[in-house]
Chain A
């Protein structure tokens, strides 16, 4: 016990000394694993997801360092904001790899940025774990690319099947964001699932980023009398659509089915009671009943004073996965070894549940079907039977 206290104090001293005189002096006593943290904290709506992930990852590192999980290895996050601009993401990856010599990278926030920047890491042999990229084929870029954000095609078919079973849906209309890779990717998956279940597709509408008036599209959809409206939208857009649909006189019999990106407290903040009854599927939700998840939500709220969203949860698990890989590698510079150890993790107990990697290095998280409760402003797990 005494020795633990001592070593904690030692860590604190080292921390102070590092801040004062640079890390080289104490290199022998403490090894520092430098990890690039590429999350957008500016640049429009991407910043919403970026900030949450950055905070969750920094929380995870702080916890790991405080608990001495990795013995003499300390995790150091080097954060850089790419402003949701792909050119800058590439700049950052090159700098992190060549100058800062990081052992791994967590991020980037947007799939588009990942398609441009991840190949650099792949070439250099630096593992990357994404926690908000949901575009299809992302991890096919190479064997150094992992992700904890499960793509829509692992979630949506389950959700749609549930909705069809419980609500007897036959005719559907779809609406999605035309110019956003995330919403467009979700829409493609949704359309495919609709066809596979043999549902009648009565209309497809779209909008562009920044649009807040959906009344023309919704008026058109109402005329087509669908049983359900499927949303390939961000949370803010979903909220506006739900609200405006109610205002236009959509009745309660029309079910709204959302996508991964709609799992956000923001949905209820903005839509209020209009979000009641929306069906979504996700890898995680705030009310998820597991000790690990509850501890995470509490720690996040304590540190930041706000609730974590799904991207925060995915980022948090990515951080712990990476830490575990570094622990197994017992090395702070060998990125190839870290990658191999990361790939070897098969039974990880995370905030998202118990999971491992698929053959394509996607997290094999069990999707959860959720229903919005507009009054209590939370998602509750649907009774799947």
Chain B
């Protein structure tokens, strides 16, 4: 008895020792920054109190401030539109391409690899390239439109178009991810099902809606969820292409949070952190919804 207890004890210590690094890592790099962000958003920070300490506790003042800010409404709307439009197009186009490449025609491997290029490029490169292409005066897109007899569009500099422009660029960047994940999902569907379906005389359309789509549902769900979390926090593309402008017309929560915290000579850390926390909550809500759906599926 005594021996085994001692052994179990030592085993317990060993277990803790193995657990310690990952716990410390999680605490130092996840829990603490999160805690600091919540704390920042609950205090009234000025540059002075940021350096000297002693920022007064402000409760939910920062949240009240951003909720009543004239930027809040547009930023929320743009975040929702940006996320939904990006996801819808990325997923649809990604799915279409995945089904297309599933046919295994000659060169399909090479072409599929080419589709991955946007994914491999650093975001600063792709975003700068898009902003050159969409330049009102010297951009290739307007040159092409001009050749087709359509007047120039101020893609990045008109409040009516700037959000559409950043969405287009983001869709382009997101397609490869959807393509890759959905394509690998397709590999898992047994070919015999399709053979049986064609013997029963199912059309291509029916095969897609009756076999591919239902069997891809778990993969689709995780693709959409990951895409959603990525897209909610997209910052670089928008900041490089339009700085969230002109006049908030392409501002999302992510760019607004950055602008409050770092975009001005005089940083507003409190409100910036508050906007960031709203984003985290949004992502968390969708994550929880996903977990619930998944539980129900496996239950």
A, B bound:
no
User: Chain B: residues with CB nearer than 8 A to chain A?
Assistant: none
User: Chain A: residues with CB nearer than 8 A to chain B?
Assistant: none
